[in-house]
Amino acid sequence: MKPTAIAETRTMTVIALPLIFAYLADVLMVLTTKMVVGRLGAVELAAAGISTDLAYQMCIVLMGFFSVVGVLVAGARGANRREDIVPELIRGLALAGVLGLGVTFIVLNLGTVLRFTGQDAEVIRLSESYYGGFAFAILPIVWFGVLRSFAAAMMKTGFVLAITVAAVALNYLLMQGLVHGSFGLPRLGIAGAALAWAITMWLKALCLGAYIFLLLRRQGLPLGRVAAASPVAYAPLVRLGLPVAGIVAMEIGLFAVTALLSGAMGAGQLAAFQIVMGWISVPFVISLGFSEAAMVRVAYFAGASDQPAARQAGHLGMAVGVAVPLLLVLIPVLAPEQLTGVFLDPADPLYGQIAALVATLLLIGAVFQVFDSLQVIASHVLRGLKDAVMPMVIAAIGYWVIGLGGAYVLGFALGWGVAGLWWGLAMGLAFTAALLAWRFELLSRRQFSM
C-alpha cells in the first residue's frame, strides 16, 4: 500500500541524511586536500586539484556502476527474496576488486594524460609526486562505495556516516602533518597529501566491511546461490551497471574535460575552477544523498509491484533533492572573495585574478546547480526502475554534444574564457535534466515488468 507523502518523505530522509553527511564528509576530504595543499601555492593547488579530480572521478564512475548493487538488493528485499541479498553483495565486491585494479594502473600513468592535454609544465611536475601515492587509495574507495550502496539498500546508513566523519578528522590530521610537517610528522609536501588519502581510505573501507559482516550475521541472511565463479551470475549486475557507469562517466568526463580546458587557459583559471567546483560539490552531494534514497525506495516498491508508491517516491526525491541544495548554492554568491580566501593565501601573486574569476563563476554556478541536482536525481529514480540505457543516450547528447560543444564554442570560439565553459555546462545539464525527468514521468505511469 502506498504510504502518505509525509511518511514517505520521512522514510526517505532517514535513509538520505546519513548518506548526505557521509557524502559531505567525502567532499570535505577533497576540500581539505585543496585547502591544505593550497597553502603551498596556487600552482600546487592546481596540481593536487586536477590530479585528485581525475583520479577520484574515475572512482566515482565505478561507484556509479556498483550503485546498482543497492538496486538489486532493494528489489530482492521488496520481493522478499532473502537468499539473493548476500550474493549480490559478494559479486559486487569481487568485480569491484578487478575493475579497481584497472583504475589504479591508469592513475599511476596519469602524467601521460596531463602532458597530452597541454597542462602547465610545473603543474605536471608537481602532480607526479601526488598521483603515484593516490593510486593506492583507489581499491578501498571503490570497495567502500559497494558497501555503502548495500547499506543504503538495507536502510542501515548510520554507521556509514559515523565512519566517514571519523575518516575526515583522521585525514585532516594526517594531511596537515604530512604536507606541512605538523604534529611531529615528516614534511612531505604535496606527496604527503596523497599518502594521507591512502591511509585513511584503507581504514575507512575495513571498518565498514567489518560492520557489514556483523550486520549479515545478526540478520541471519543466507548465502544463497553466490556462484561467485560463474560469469553468468554477474549478468544482472553488468547489464544494469554498464549503462549506469556510462551515464556517470559521461557526466564526470564532462567536468574532467572542462577542468583540462581550464588548465589549458592557464594555472590561474584552473585554480579558480578548482575553488568553485569545491563549493558546488557541497549542494550537489545533498542532491546525491536524496537521489540514492529515492533510488532504493523506487526499487523497493518496484520489487513489491507497487507502482503508485514507486512513482510517489521518485517525485518526492526530485522535489526535495532540488529545493534544499538550491538554498545553499546562493550563499557564496554574496561573498565570493571570502570563499577564495579559504583556499588560497591572499598574498599569492595570482590571488586577485583568481578571486575575480571565482566571483563570476559562482553566479553561473547558481544557475546550473538547479539542473545538475535535477538530472542526478532523475537518473537515479530511473535506475530504480532498472532503466539505464536510454538515460545513457540522453546523457551522451546532453553532456557531450550540447554541454561540451557549447562550452568549447563559448569558451574558445567566442572568447568568453572560463565563464563560457561554465555556461556550456549549464546548457548541457538543463537539456539532460528536462529529458530524464520527463522519461520518469512516462515510465512511472506504466505497469512494472520487473
The pLDDT, as a whole number, for residue 211 is: 95
pLDDT at 270 exceeding the cut of 80: no
pLDDT, the chain, mean: 84
pLDDT at 7 (0 to 100): 85
Is residue 442 pLDDT above 60, yes or no? yes
Q: Report, as an integer, the average pLDDT of 24-45.
A: 80
pLDDT at 269 over 70: yes
| pLDDT (mean) for 161-185 | 90
Q: Give residue for cell 506504466.
A: 446
| DSSP structural state of residue 182 | G
pLDDT at 229 over 60: no
H helices within 304-388, ranges in order? 307-329, 336-343, 351-384
The per-residue pLDDT for 74 is: 85
Least Cα distance to 301 among 384, 236, 377, 391 occurs for 384
Q: Mean per-residue pLDDT for 175-196? A: 90
> pTM of this prediction?
0.73
pLDDT tens digits along 350-385: 788 888 888 888 878 777 788 888 999 999 999 889
Task: Give the pLDDT of residue 331.
Answer: 65
Is the pLDDT at 386 greater than 70, yes or no?
yes
Question: Residue 32 — very low, low, confident or very high, per pLDDT cuts 50/70/90?
Answer: confident
For residues 265-288, give the mean pLDDT: 79
Three-class secondary structure of residue 330 per DSSP: coil
Q: How far is residue 121's CA from residue 138's CA, in Å, rounded to a whole number?
A: 26
Lowest mean pLDDT of 23-27, 174-178, 223-227, name the range.
223-227
Q: Indicate the pLDDT class of residue 449, thresholds 50, 70 and 90.
A: very low
| Residues in CB range of 37: below 8 A, 6 or more apart | 44, 45, 48, 49, 179, 190, 193
Question: Over the stretch 52-77, which tens digit does the pLDDT of each residue have?
Answer: 878 888 888 898 899 889 888 988 88
- Residues 236-252 have a mean pLDDT of 86
CA atoms within 13 A on the CB side of 410: 19
Q: Binning pLDDT at 50, 70 and 90, where does residue 227 land?
A: very low
| pLDDT higher than threshold 60 for residue 447 | no
Q: What is the structure's pLDDT at 50?
A: 78
What is the per-residue pLDDT for 450? 42
Q: Give the pLDDT mean for 386-400.
A: 91
Residue 430 to residues 369, 425, 434, Cα–Cα distance (Å): 10, 9, 6
Contact 27, 285 (CB under 8 A): yes
C-alpha cell at 382: 530511473
